[in-house]
Amino acid sequence: MMEIGLNHYLVLSTILFSIGLVGVMRRKNLLMLFFATEILLNSVNISFAAISHFYGDLTGQMFAFFVIAIAASEVAVGLGLLIVWHKRHNAIDLDLMSTMKG
Protein backbone atom coordinates (compact mmCIF):
# COMPACT_ATOMS: atom_id res chain seq x y z
CA MET A 1 0.00 0.00 0.00
CA MET A 2 2.75 2.44 0.91
CA GLU A 3 5.11 1.29 -1.83
CA ILE A 4 4.06 3.01 -5.05
CA GLY A 5 4.60 0.73 -8.03
CA LEU A 6 3.79 0.76 -11.71
CA ASN A 7 0.31 -0.64 -11.08
CA HIS A 8 -0.68 2.37 -8.99
CA TYR A 9 0.10 4.69 -11.86
CA LEU A 10 -1.65 2.46 -14.39
CA VAL A 11 -4.78 2.35 -12.21
CA LEU A 12 -4.71 6.14 -11.87
CA SER A 13 -4.33 6.41 -15.64
CA THR A 14 -7.34 4.11 -16.10
CA ILE A 15 -9.47 6.21 -13.75
CA LEU A 16 -8.56 9.45 -15.51
CA PHE A 17 -9.09 7.87 -18.94
CA SER A 18 -12.56 6.67 -17.95
CA ILE A 19 -13.42 10.14 -16.63
CA GLY A 20 -12.35 11.59 -19.97
CA LEU A 21 -14.37 8.98 -21.88
CA VAL A 22 -17.46 9.75 -19.82
CA GLY A 23 -16.93 13.39 -20.75
CA VAL A 24 -16.59 12.58 -24.45
CA MET A 25 -19.77 10.48 -24.38
CA ARG A 26 -22.07 12.81 -22.48
CA ARG A 27 -21.00 16.30 -23.63
CA LYS A 28 -23.00 18.11 -26.29
CA ASN A 29 -21.06 21.36 -26.35
CA LEU A 30 -18.00 21.07 -28.59
CA LEU A 31 -15.76 23.15 -26.33
CA MET A 32 -16.48 20.78 -23.44
CA LEU A 33 -15.76 17.87 -25.78
CA PHE A 34 -12.30 19.33 -26.41
CA PHE A 35 -11.70 19.54 -22.66
CA ALA A 36 -12.55 15.86 -22.36
CA THR A 37 -10.08 14.94 -25.13
CA GLU A 38 -7.37 16.84 -23.26
CA ILE A 39 -8.10 14.66 -20.22
CA LEU A 40 -7.74 11.52 -22.38
CA LEU A 41 -4.36 12.63 -23.75
CA ASN A 42 -3.08 13.55 -20.29
CA SER A 43 -4.07 10.24 -18.71
CA VAL A 44 -2.14 8.38 -21.39
CA ASN A 45 0.88 10.62 -20.74
CA ILE A 46 0.90 9.57 -17.08
CA SER A 47 1.10 5.89 -17.98
CA PHE A 48 3.85 6.58 -20.54
CA ALA A 49 5.95 8.44 -17.97
CA ALA A 50 5.37 5.74 -15.33
CA ILE A 51 6.40 2.91 -17.68
CA SER A 52 9.44 4.95 -18.70
CA HIS A 53 10.44 5.39 -15.05
CA PHE A 54 9.91 1.81 -13.87
CA TYR A 55 11.71 0.20 -16.82
CA GLY A 56 14.54 2.72 -17.02
CA ASP A 57 13.73 3.47 -20.65
CA LEU A 58 13.37 6.92 -22.17
CA THR A 59 11.07 5.88 -25.02
CA GLY A 60 7.95 6.46 -22.92
CA GLN A 61 8.92 10.05 -22.21
CA MET A 62 9.64 10.63 -25.91
CA PHE A 63 6.16 9.44 -26.83
CA ALA A 64 4.70 11.66 -24.11
CA PHE A 65 6.41 14.63 -25.77
CA PHE A 66 4.94 13.77 -29.15
CA VAL A 67 1.51 13.36 -27.56
CA ILE A 68 1.85 16.87 -26.09
CA ALA A 69 2.84 18.26 -29.51
CA ILE A 70 -0.17 16.57 -31.13
CA ALA A 71 -2.47 17.92 -28.40
CA ALA A 72 -1.19 21.46 -28.96
CA SER A 73 -1.75 21.35 -32.73
CA GLU A 74 -5.14 19.68 -32.26
CA VAL A 75 -6.23 22.57 -30.05
CA ALA A 76 -5.04 25.18 -32.58
CA VAL A 77 -6.84 23.61 -35.56
CA GLY A 78 -9.91 22.58 -33.58
CA LEU A 79 -10.47 25.99 -32.05
CA GLY A 80 -10.01 27.65 -35.46
CA LEU A 81 -12.66 25.40 -36.98
CA LEU A 82 -14.91 25.96 -33.96
CA ILE A 83 -14.66 29.74 -34.37
CA VAL A 84 -15.56 29.49 -38.06
CA TRP A 85 -18.54 27.27 -37.22
CA HIS A 86 -19.66 29.65 -34.48
CA LYS A 87 -19.47 32.63 -36.88
CA ARG A 88 -21.70 30.84 -39.39
CA HIS A 89 -24.25 29.14 -37.15
CA ASN A 90 -23.94 31.04 -33.86
CA ALA A 91 -23.91 27.78 -31.91
CA ILE A 92 -21.39 25.06 -31.11
CA ASP A 93 -23.76 22.24 -30.29
CA LEU A 94 -22.84 18.84 -31.63
CA ASP A 95 -26.43 18.05 -32.63
CA LEU A 96 -26.44 20.83 -35.23
CA MET A 97 -23.54 19.26 -37.11
CA SER A 98 -25.66 16.81 -39.05
CA THR A 99 -25.22 18.24 -42.53
CA MET A 100 -23.63 15.00 -43.75
CA LYS A 101 -26.54 12.96 -42.43
CA GLY A 102 -27.90 10.78 -45.22
Partner 1 sequence: MFEAIAFYLFSFLTIAMFYITVTTSQALYALSALAAGMIFISAFFFILGADFLGAVQIVVYSGAVMALYAFGMMFFDTTRDVKEKKGNKYLITGLATLAAILVVVIVSAPLIGENISAYYPMTEGAGNTQEIGMVLFTKYLVPFELAAVMLLVAMISGIVLAGKKMDLSLTLMSDREIIEMREEKNKKVLL
For residue 102, the minimal CB distance to partner 1 (Å) is 22
CA distance 93 to 98: 10
The CB-of-57 to partner 1 minimum distance in angstroms stands at 4
Sign of CA dihedral 30, 45, 71, 67: negative
Residues that bind partner 1 (CB under 8 A): 1-4, 6, 8-10, 12-23, 25-29, 31-32, 34-36, 38-39, 42, 45-47, 49-53, 55-59, 61-62, 64-66, 68-77, 79-84, 86, 92-93
Query: CA-CA distance, 22 to 40, in Å (whole number)?
Result: 10
